[in-house]
Structure 1
Amino acid sequence: MHTIWKGSVSFGLVHVPVKLYAATEDKEISLHMLHRNCHVSIKNQRYCPICNVSVEHEDIVKGYPIDTNQYVTFEKDELEKIQGVSSKRINIIDFIKEDQIDLMFSQKAYFLGPDTHGNNAYNLFLKALETSKRLAVGRLTLRSNTKLCVMRALDGKCIQLATMHYANEIRKVNSVPNLSDNTSVDDTQLKLALQIIKGMAGKTDLSTLSNPEQERLQAAIQSKIVGQHFSYKQVQEDEMVIDLLEALQQSVSINKSNSKKQSQASLVKGNRKEKLG
């Protein structure tokens, strides 16, 4: 597993040497941009339209726009000084309960593992988080950006770290168009909606779900590799029911039908096991 960041977790006078690893990976199938005539991959070049030249990495500085074509510029060493010593340290600022975290603030998940010589301190920190049932809140400088982060014990053997948005990065809910202060609904419709929720509740195992578009694209790629024709089936959306009450009633009926089929399938499966036994 590739190390993204290396440093230490600091709380009190304790320093825990750690390494950061991505906990998730993008499974989207990457399609390259090719020149239609020769199928050579198109190159993206850093180019200056004023000087009419390609720009090398060492000739690039970062700038903040203050007016049209006017920037305040920063060299790499200036930005490193602004980040300060915390760039290689996760400074813990609080220990909170899990229900104090709003999922709205969640950003990206990572695994935080021990460094080569940091097992004792790492295991102590892991056990302390697990025993206290608390999340550690800290700041982590990652790719030139100081992130808010939380850490928790995961399965008693690893620390999970999640970067979080700062409060000023969360948009106000009032900016959502067409919201109304009047949220009263019809009692009959609410009863039907609750029936649908009850019928669908607890039946999905997230670990079994896959991306259907990704699977179709992978099948198409394999067909083209072996020179076979791939049949493109148009995915049909369910017909939209305009009347809300009718839509609710149809949904309840579909749920009951699906539940009956699942019960029959489970019964058949159970009978087969008894015969085999």
Structure 2
Amino acid sequence: MHTMWKGSISFGLVNIPIKLHTATEDKDIKLRTLHKECHSPIKYEKVCPVCEVEVQNEDLVKAYEYTKGKFVVLEAEELEKLRKENEDKAVEIIDFVKIQEIDPIYFDRTYYMSPGDGGGKAYGLLRKALLNSEKVGIAKIIIRSKEQLAVVRVYENTIVMETIHFPDEVRKPQDVPNVPVEDKVTGKELETAIMLIDQLTTSFEPEKYKDDYRTALLELIESKQTGKEVVTAAEKTPATNVTDLMAALQASIDKTKPKTKTATAKKKRVSTKVKKEA
């Protein structure tokens, strides 16, 4: 399993070297966008709208837009220094709480924690203490240049860290439009709804839930592939200036070639006629 972060976590005087591993993975099927005419994948280029030129990564800088069209530019060295100052710190569990006190809306991503070299005993101590106390730890950690609030808990004998949103990152439910203030339902309607809930109540078994859309999409792709309903991207023709060069050469030849005999003879006749009239 790939290690995406190394460091240490502490509670009190106990310091545990740890590694973080992403606990979940995105199973979405990635679809490419092709040009309808030749089935070539479309390129998305970074273009400056003012200079009207394509820009490379080395030409880009980070900035904060504090008002429309006004920016504060942040140098890469400044951001890297700030990141290192915070990332090098050990993750400290600052509080212990009951997980029931944390609403699921706060949860973001989950990471497995494994002990680093020599951290096995301390890892086991934290795991046992969390289980026996029925508490979870609240900690702070820097991941991908962003400070995260996190919950440290035990999941199937493994310590996991779940990043959670800061309070100001959770929008207020009062701002949701068209939410009725009062419930205008009858007793019979409520009774029927509760009866339906009771009939559908069961134990949570995650294995029985499937992504039906992804399954159907994979089947569609496989059927098209088996039936040879596939397309191939057209090969890009190498850029060449041969046509333009030949045109330029031909134009030059036409411009410098001697005048035709007919034109010369006509000129002579005109000249002789003028002399006779004189």
Task: Give the TM-score normalised by structure 2.
Answer: 0.75
Indicate the residue corresponding to 1:11 in structure 2: 11
Distance 2:55 2:116 in 1: 38
User: Does 2:155 align with 1:160?
Assistant: no
Deviations 1:70-114 (A, max 9, x none): 210112221233346331432221111121211111111111112
What is the aligned-residue RMSD (CA, Å)?
Answer: 2.0
| Equivalences, count | 228
Is residue 2:31 matched to residue 1:47?
no
Structure number, greater radius of gyration: 2
Gaps of at least 5 residues in structure 1 are 230-277
Aligned partner of 1:243 in structure 2 is none
CA distance in 1, matches of 2:216, 2:223: 11
Deviation at 1:27, TM superposition (A): 1.0
Counterpart CA distance in 2 for 1:180 and 1:9 is 45
Q: Report SS of the residue matched to 1:213.
A: helix
Q: 1: distance between equivalents of 2:204 and 2:141?
A: 35
Unaligned runs of 5+ in 2: 230-278
- 1:100 paired with 2:95, answer no
Aligned-partner residue type, residue 41 of structure 2? S
CA distance in 1, matches of 2:103, 2:155: 19
Q: Quick one: distance in 1 between partners of 2:103 and 2:179?
A: 21
What does residue 63 of structure 1 align with? 63
The residue that corresponds to 2:113 in the other structure is 112
Identity %: 37
Which AA in structure 2 matches 1:108? R
Match of 2:233 in 1: none
Secondary structure in 2 aligned to 1:95? Answer: strand
- Distance change (3 Å), C-alpha of 1:204 and 1:159: closer
Change (3 A) 1:119 1:57: farther
Q: Which residue of 2 aligns with 1:128?
A: 129
Which secondary structure state, in structure 2, belongs to the residue aligned with residue 2 of structure 1?
coil
Distance in 2, matches of 1:13 and 1:55, equals 51
What is the match of residue 207 of structure 1?
A: 207
What is the letter of the counterpart of residue 165 of structure 2? Answer: H
- 1:108-147 Cα offsets, whole Å, 9 max, x none, are 1111112244323222222222222210101111111111
* Partner SS state of residue 126, structure 1: helix
Partner of 1:254: none
Q: How does 1:194-273 map to 2 (within 5 A)?
A: 194-202=194-202, 205-227=205-227
Whole-Å Cα distance in 1 between the matches of residues 175 and 98 of structure 2?
A: 30
65 and 136 in structure 1: CA distance in 2 versus 1, 3 angstrom threshold: same
Indicate how the Cα distance of structure 1 residues 138 and 79 shifts in structure 2: closer, same or farther if over 3 A, else same.
same
Distance 1:31 1:118 in 2: 43
Q: What SS does the aligned partner of 1:15 have?
A: strand
Q: Quickly say closer, same or farther: Cα 1:76–1:123, change in 2 above 3 A.
A: farther
Shift of 1:63: 0.7
Distance 1:195 1:119 in 2: 50
**TM-score in terms of structure 1 length:** 0.75
Q: Secondary structure at the match of 1:113?
A: strand
